[in-house]
Chains A and B, each alone.
Chain A
């Protein structure tokens, strides 16, 4: 009889466990002001059922992650969980595995955490219970939502960015426009001093060029596509290429977070501001620097007078060299002819 009782209790627990369905969790956690007072502060323990059920993890039971919850209601505070519980190579639940966590470990955020500082890890960007795909407009990591996401901590930079032409592009629905992650990378955010960083002076041109050399995209947004090419031909570009990092790169003149077109009076490349912008490196720069075109490619007609200088020298060199070559050829042929005649005699 005692054995029967034990078996019955065991069975009941089993049934109860089998019924540890999400609905049972939401009985408490689905209540909006559900929470506890921890160290004198109210901590919300609310989970929006609606949002959870539209997340990528909607098919999973709460207890799939919160594995230490065996009975409901649970009395002990569940252990902290980590994404890598499932997202590891060879996992059996079918969680996608990418190199992103590994990349993240190199980032400034991971290093700050290792030093005991307050910095974001996976859940801070991807959320805890409402993880959505990046291409889902409701996702926190959806492109248009990224500035708001990063701006939760980087508040002043967010304000700078919201002034930029890149944000204006996003707001107009041009999702190819740059947000934080396009320049800073997503997971492997490295400090600019790191030679691998996309923001290292040697890599800045390549970073901007990803979009600004894209002919289709630049045509769509009405930005000259040959500017990176012209920059690389300039003394700044050549000096930078061969290791002179103090030479101006894109960001030196265009700024970075609040990039604005030259027509905007707030822009550092607005004609009225150019003297100051160039003056950062060239102390005698004055309003003269605004007289002329920038990103000049001599072979393009739009380059104005430089195009004509280029064309003059092109033809002048060609004509002179053809003349000189002809003279040399005549001299050589004449010499050979006379030599042959002499030997015939």
Chain B
């Protein structure tokens, strides 16, 4: 680190030697101070810029991994499966509409649509088995499942959030890894899965089940399949998409479930308790490693 005062002295001396003159003492002192000031300002500017660079780099890099690859792939399979089921299922429910006819024509007939519907169904059943194994036999899965279990705090958070939304308080509920909204979505899928997969299997393998169940079971299966499909579609399109993507905080798209990454800023706003937990763990493990080094 160079010292501005010494640097100024050096510059003046160099000039004196070059021109072969000696400056008046008073003028020399004044010049020295002026040069000193300029050097100081320059140094300050450089320092600031350097700091900015560091800060920017930090911001770019500071994110958390919210979802493991396993969860992301589960969600992707489920999402594609459900979209396929909705697209091929709705024209059957609304078979009287013009767009249903248009859709079947576009896709190559109801027989093609039938096959696609079963592909979607296969993906749905596959992911339900996958998820069951995941939460039963992997440590990560067990932890996630525990995090998703409803507890008293969720009801308090719900109450707090309503107050916040109504403007009665300025304190947002402090969510952990999963907010009550996310937990609701998770458990709603169980209900939907049970109804859709069971009734769907009865309808898919009706020739097999005809030997087992009375006729009215098929009527119930058809009605439940159709009605629950409607409920699930509306819940996904309106509720899930609003909370995940279309709400004003994140509009229009939240990539976290596909990339797994969440920024520190969003982490602090949406999952403050989890942030604290992670930071505490980090500190503790760092402390431990320091101890080890010592």
Query: A residues bordering B, Cβ < 8 Å?
Result: 235, 238-239, 241-244, 278, 282-286, 288-294, 296, 298, 303-306, 309-310, 313-314, 316-317, 320-321, 324-325, 327-328, 330-335, 337-338
Main secondary structure of the interface of B (DSSP, over half): helix
Contacts A288-B210, A320-B235 known; A309 to B224 CB distance under 8 Å? yes
B residues sitting closer than 8 Å to A (CB atoms) are 92, 95, 101, 104, 109-111, 162, 164-167, 203, 206-208, 210-220, 222-224, 227-228, 230-231, 234-235, 238-239, 242, 247-249
> Smallest distance from the beta carbon of B116 to chain A beta carbons, Å?
14
Give the nearest-CB partner of A240 in chain B.
B110
B211 close to A298 (CB less than 8 A): no
- B284 to nearest A CB, angstroms? 36
Given the contacts A330-B162, A334-B164, A241 and B214 also touching, CB distance less than 8 Å: no
How far is B101's CA from A235's CA once the two chains are assembled, in angstroms? 15
A337 and B166 alpha carbons, distance in the complex (Å): 9
Contacts beyond the supplied A242-B101, A292-B218: 13 A-B pairs with Cβ under 8 Å:
A284-B211, A288-B214, A298-B223, A309-B227, A310-B223, A313-B231, A321-B235, A324-B239, A325-B238, A328-B239, A332-B248, A334-B167, A338-B167
Instruction: Say yes or no: B231 contacts A320, CB within 8 Å.
Output: yes
Do the beta carbons of A238 and B165 come within 8 Å of each other?
no
Residues B110 and A309 in contact, CB atoms below 8 Å apart: no
With a CB–CB cut-off of 8 A, which chain B residues contact A283? 207
Q: Given A290-B215, A293-B216, A309-B223, answer yes or no on A317-B231 (Cβ-Cβ < 8 Å).
A: yes
- B residues near A239, Cβ cutoff 8 Å: 110
Q: Taking CB as reference atom, which chain A residue is nearest B113?
A: A242
A284, B216: Cβ atoms under 8 Å? no
Other-chain residue from A244, A296, A338 in contact with B110 (beta carbon distance below 8 A): A244
Contacts of A330 in B (CB 8 A): 162, 165-166
Query: In the complex, A293→B111 CA distance in Å?
Result: 27
Q: Is the CB of B216 within 8 A of A334?
A: no
Bound-complex Cα distance A305 to B215 (A): 12
Residues of chain A with a CB closer than 8 A to B111's CB: 244
Interchain Cβ contacts within 8 Å, total number: 114
Q: State A234–B203 Cα separation when bound (angstroms).
A: 12
A328 touches B219 (CB 8 A): no
B163 to chain A, nearest CB (A): 10
Complexed CA–CA distance, A294 and B212 (Å):
18
Q: In the complex, what residue of chain B is closest to A242 when comparing beta carbons?
A: B110
- Are A291's CB and B215's CB within 8 A? yes
- When the two chains form their complex, are residues B230 and A242 in contact, meaning their CB atoms are under 8 A apart? no
Q: A284-B211, A333-B165 are in contact. Are A306 and B238 (CB under 8 A)?
A: no
Instruction: For A305, list chain B residues within 8 Å (CB).
Output: 216, 219-220
Contacts of B248 in A (CB 8 A): 332, 335
Chain B residues near A338: list those with CB within 8 A: 167
Question: How far does the alpha carbon of A12 sit from the alpha carbon of B166 in the complex, in Å?
Answer: 116
Chain A contacts for B95, CB-based, 8 A: 238, 241-242
Q: Are B210 and A286 in contact (CB under 8 A)?
A: yes
Query: How long is the Cα–Cα vector from A271 to B279 in the complex, in angstroms?
Result: 71
- B230→A304 contact, CB < 8 A: no
B219 cross-chain contacts in A, Cβ below 8 A:
292-293, 296, 298, 303, 305-306
The residues of B that contact A235 with a CB separation of less than 8 Å are 203, 222
B247, A331: Cβ atoms closer than 8 Å: yes
Complex interface: chain A residues within 8 A of B230 (CB): 313, 317
Contacting residues, chain B, for A244 (C-beta < 8 A): 110-111
Q: Are A288 and B212 in contact (CB under 8 A)?
A: yes
- Rounded to whole angstroms, the CA-CA distance of A324 and B235 in the bound complex is 8
Residues of B within 8 A of A320 (CB): 231, 235
What are 5 inter-chain pairs, A to B, with CB distance below 8 A?
A: A244-B110, A286-B210, A288-B211, A321-B238, A334-B167
- Rounded to whole angstroms, the CA-CA distance of A239 and B104 in the bound complex is 11
A284 and B234 CA atoms in complex are apart in Å by 37
Which B residues are in CB contact (< 8 Å) with A284?
Answer: 207-208, 210-211
In the A-B complex, the 9 residue pairs with the smallest Cβ-Cβ separation, listed nearest first, are A292-B215, A291-B214, A292-B216, A313-B227, A334-B165, A284-B211, A242-B110, A330-B165, A324-B239
**For A325, A334, A338, which residue has the most chain B Cβ atoms within 10 angstroms?**
A334
Give CA–CA (A331, B216) in the complex, Å.
Answer: 43
Contacts of B234 in A (CB 8 A): 317, 321
Report the minimal beta-carbon distance from A290 to chain B, rounded to whole angstroms. Answer: 7
Query: Are A304's CB and B165's CB within 8 A?
Result: no
Q: With CB as the reference atom, state the residue of chain A lying closest to B228.
A: A313
Residues of B within 8 A of A310 (CB): 223, 227
Contact call B167/A238, Cβ cutoff below 8 A: no
